[in-house]
Structure 1
């Protein structure tokens, strides 16, 4: 697809592309869990939450399909925030996996147990601090662990909100240029 055609994509088209990629990421994650037998660690679950959050914003944006720059900027910003959150969690997960075994945090209680007894703020803080469970590398594909592939997926997924935001910026710029023309 040429650069000119990419520039003309609507919020709906970018959102549908983002939503489709979110569906692909979730299909792979669920396939690895239910078919491959890989149990997700707490950080994996938070990465899934980021994918689902981005998917929700993309779905609403696709249905709404705003034509104004404010709506496009809002959807682009919200979906980019979800994607950046996923990038941050995946990056943290990779960092934990890179630690020498003697520096890996000890395994804590399971996510279900923490959700039952702790406030959400404490659960998030404990999960992001990581555990030994999150530092294990259970699967490699082409020498890259699952959090590495997820990070790559989030970087690719970021193209959709960036495309939406670029469209909003171009609308803003063209309306400013148009308002300064002599009558």
Structure 2
């Protein structure tokens, strides 16, 4: 199975992109059908997932080795952003702040404050970010998001290592 994944990097990137779009669809289902409101950290994770999906899709479209390897490097950076945000949110969920406050949404923060102040406020999280509204097999959305970002990053690193060895 691992050889099937690593021997066809463009196919693997396409599958990563497809998985990301499916996860985004599930996030939208949870928001619009189930009624869960995303917190600022959830929104940042969604943007990282969109960036990962687009980069993986772009990497899968051209047969050039340099093209898919460059897209993979950028996709790993997107995985890092998503994993960092999901890990921070998981930390807030495991160790909620003593004073729970309901912070502003992502767009409100960006519109009201300069970007240099808004970004730290987004990553600081709010009372909403520490709430666990949905679980699957004992893990929150942030926990599962972290695991998926790390899994995608590991596959992408394996693709790059395999690609560099064949050079």
CA distance in structure 1 between the partners assigned to 2:68 and 2:100 by the alignment = 42
Aligned residues: 167
Indicate the SS of the match to 2:166. helix
The 5 Å alignment of 1:49-64 reads: 49-64=47-62
Q: Relative to structure 2, which stretch is displaced further, 73-82 or 90-99?
A: 73-82
Deviations along 1:74-94, one digit per CA (max 9) or x if unpaired, are: 122100110111110000000
Indicate the SS of the match to 1:35. helix
The one of 41, 44, 55 equivalent to 2:42 is 44
Equivalent residue, structure 1, for 2:6: 7
2:11–2:60 contact (8 Å) kept in structure 1: yes
- Cα offset for 1:132? 1.0
Over the aligned positions, Cα root-mean-square deviation in angstroms equals 1.8
CA distance in structure 2 between the partners assigned to 1:74 and 1:49 by the alignment = 20
Task: Give the alignment's TM-score, normalised by structure 2.
Answer: 0.89
**1:137 maps to 2:129:** no
Task: Give the alignment's TM-score, normalised by structure 1.
Answer: 0.82
- Which structure 2 segments of 5+ residues have no match? none
Deviations along 1:73-115, one digit per CA (max 9) or x if unpaired, are: 312210011011111000000001111452x563333322212
Residues 1:17 and 1:106: Cα distance change in structure 2 (over 3 Å): same
- Cα offset for 1:153? 1.8
The 5 Å alignment of 1:67-86 reads: 67=65, 70-86=66-82
CA distance in structure 2 between the partners assigned to 1:153 and 1:5 by the alignment = 20
- Cα offset for 1:35? 1.1
**1:23 maps to 2:18:** no
1:14–1:163 contact (8 Å) kept in structure 2: no
The one of 111, 119, 122 equivalent to 1:127 is 122
Residues 1:114 and 1:100: Cα distance change in structure 2 (over 3 Å): closer
Quick check: which has more Rg, 1 or 2?
1
